[in-house]
Structure 1
Amino acid sequence: MQLLKQPPTTKAPAEMFTGDVWFDVVYRGEEPSRARANMVKFAPGARTAWHSHGLGQTLYIVEGIALIQSRGGEILEAHPGDVIWTPPGEEHWHGAAPGRFMSHLALWEADEVSWLEHVTEDEYQGPRTGTRCC
């Protein structure tokens, strides 16, 4: 067992994100491990670009309201404690709702991520499902 030294918090690159996004690497396994875990913090309205993961991705919503969309689908609104699974190769984006900060724990395997174009404002403002009231 060992206590792992954590790298400093990193600002997410503008090529892959819209708005202010910061992440902390929680775990980056070394071969033969392919495990990856990041705590990601989004300012209101901030989001990823469209992307996909070669082996899929799991998001655990920690705080705030998350918006997640698969290409061609409606926007899913998720809340703290919700878990979202995106299968391998599925193009998607995720980020914070307007007016709310959001943090999630992102879990994936390997670094096979295909980054695509930015999410447009029209896409971001699209219809939502999973909205909770009160």
Structure 2
Amino acid sequence: MTMIITHPTTQAGTAGKPGSQFTGTAYPYVTMAATDGVTINTVDFTPGARTHWHHHENGQILQVLAGRGLIQSAGGPVEVLRAGDTVWIPPGETHWHGAAPDSFMVHTAISLGATSWAQPVPDADYLDPEAGTNA
């Protein structure tokens, strides 16, 4: 038996493909394909990469594994995420998440039910000066 190393750039994901729901370079790969309405993905975000606005039918759990990121719910402030943080996003709450402008971030996303995607997060919203107050 020989050791096998699989790098994020070779994982099946949406990075760089038409219809990608990310701004910037992100390497999403399925950790567990949809099973009973639950999908688990691990995503490696490069600095500045982020999801588009979206929401989940039955909510989402994010576990930040490495780096520093940002998250925002519609109408709320941009919040800073760090390795070790766990986030619960309630059903139907529109939000985005991704890496900070100067850091990578890796998270595992546990999505419950269908995901509904919307528009990209404009740079002006992503680079909200208020985000620095939460660092």
Normalising by structure 1, what TM-score? 0.84
Tell me what 2:117 maps to: 115
Contact 1:78 1:130 in 2 (8 A): no
Tell me what 1:100 maps to: 103
Alignment equivalent of 2:77, drawn from 74, 77, 80 = 74
Q: Per-residue deviation at 1:27?
A: 0.8
Matches of 1:11 and 1:87 in 2, distance apart?
Answer: 24
Which has a greater percent of helix?
A: 2
Tell me what 1:88 maps to: 91
After superposition, the C-alpha distances for 1:70-89 in whole angstroms (9 at most, x for unaligned) are: 00110110101100111111
Matches of 1:75 and 1:45 in 2, distance apart?
Answer: 14
Name the % identity.
Answer: 40
Q: How many residues align?
A: 123
Matches of 1:52 and 1:107 in 2, distance apart?
Answer: 12
Segments of 5+ residues of structure 1 without an aligned counterpart are 1-5
Matches of 1:98 and 1:8 in 2, distance apart?
Answer: 24
Q: Per-residue deviation at 1:66?
A: 1.2
Deviates more, 1:15-24 or 1:57-66: 15-24
RMSD of the alignment, in Å? Answer: 1.9
Runs (4+) of structure 1 exceeding 6 A deviation are none
Contact 2:46 2:99 in 1 (8 A): yes
Normalising by structure 2, what TM-score? 0.83
Matches of 1:130 and 1:77 in 2, distance apart?
Answer: 6
Segments of 5+ residues of structure 2 without an aligned counterpart are 1-5
Tell me what 1:23 maps to: 28
Matches of 2:21 and 2:100 in 1, distance apart?
Answer: 18
Q: What letter corresponds to residue 119 of structure 1 in structure 2?
A: V
